[in-house]
Amino acid sequence: MNILSRVTHRLEPNADESAIGFMMRVAHKNRLKSAPELLKRVLGSESPVILHQRIPDLAFFCRNTIDEFQQLSGFEKWWDAEPHWVIQGEWLTKSVFIQNQLSRACPMCLDQSPYIRALWSLSFYKYCAWHECALIDRCPKCHRTLDWDRSRPEFCNCNQYLGEHSLELPQPESLLLSKVIAYRLTQDQSLIQTQSNQLVEQLAALSVDGLCKTIWFLGHCIPELGQYSTGHGRKRPNDQVFANMLQSAFALLRNWPESLGRILDKSIHQELHPQFSAVAFHYLLRPLDHYLKSSLDSPELAFIGHMYEQYLHQIWLKSGRRNSGSRYEKQLRLEF
pLDDT surpasses 50 at 334? no
Tens digits of residue pLDDT in 33-70: 999 999 999 999 999 999 999 999 999 999 999 999 99
pLDDT surpasses 80 at 233? no
- Number of neighbours of residue 295 by Cβ within 10 angstroms: 18
- Calculate mean pLDDT across residues 227-236: 60
List C-alpha distances in Å: 185 to 52, 86, 181: 20, 11, 6
Q: Judge whether 182 and 139 are in contact, CB under 8 Å.
A: no
pLDDT surpasses 80 at 185? yes
- Number of neighbours of residue 42 by Cβ within 10 angstroms: 21
Tens digits of residue pLDDT in 292-306: 999 999 999 999 999
**Coil, helix or strand at residue 199:** helix
Tens digits of residue pLDDT in 118-164: 999 999 999 999 999 999 999 999 999 998 989 999 999 999 999 98
Residue 234 is predicted with a pLDDT of 60
Please classify residue 27 by burial: count the beta carbons closer than 10 Å to its beta carbon, then call 0-12 exposed, 13-18 middle and 19+ buried.
buried
pLDDT surpasses 90 at 72? yes
Domain boundaries, the chain: 19-92, 199-335
Distance between CA 282 and CA 185 in Å, rounded? 39
| Confidence label for 196 from pLDDT (cuts 50, 70 and 90) | low
- Calculate mean pLDDT across residues 70-82: 94
Distance between CA 224 and CA 245 in Å, rounded? 10
pTM of the shown model: 0.89
Rounded to 5 degrees, what angle do the CA atoms 113, 193, 104 make? 35
